[in-house]
Amino acid sequence: MTFSAEDILMMSKPGELFSDDPDIMRKEYKELAKAWHPDLNDAVSEANEVMTKINLLYLQCVNSIKTGRWEKPGFIKLFDKAGKAYEIRYLNSESFELGTMYIANSIVF
């Protein structure tokens, strides 16, 4: 999938740009770096800003996988200590003093 500079700059969650598979994620990062690295892309004035955003989202991806929590809008994937994955689609999320609350059709977690 090809993203414009505006699309990438508007993204707030790494799941909007990268997949949750570490091998695929690295390939996606390399492709994005080739397309948006400022040294390789003189024609686009915001290439530096876009590459900075890509790097930030990539680091968030790596941290999300390490902590066992993968999120993109409307979807969260949690991993227990044994590595079992739990995938949940949610309608809304709210941050509060203890963390984040996710509201789904039949549960709140």
HEC string of the chain equals CCCCHHHHHHCCCHHHCCCCCHHHHHHHHHHHHHHHCCCCCCCCCCHHHHHHHHHHHHHHHHHHHHHCEEEECCEEEEECCCCCEEEEECCEEEEECCEEEEECCCCEC
> pTM here?
0.73
| Span 25-78, pLDDT tens digits | 999 999 999 988 888 877 678 888 999 999 999 999 888 888 878 788 888 888
Q: Is the pLDDT of residue 86 over 60?
A: yes
pLDDT value at residue 97? 94
Q: Compare 22 and 42 and report the one with higher pLDDT.
A: 22
Q: What is the mean pLDDT of the chain?
A: 86
pLDDT value at residue 22? 84
Q: Is the pLDDT of residue 20 over 60?
A: yes
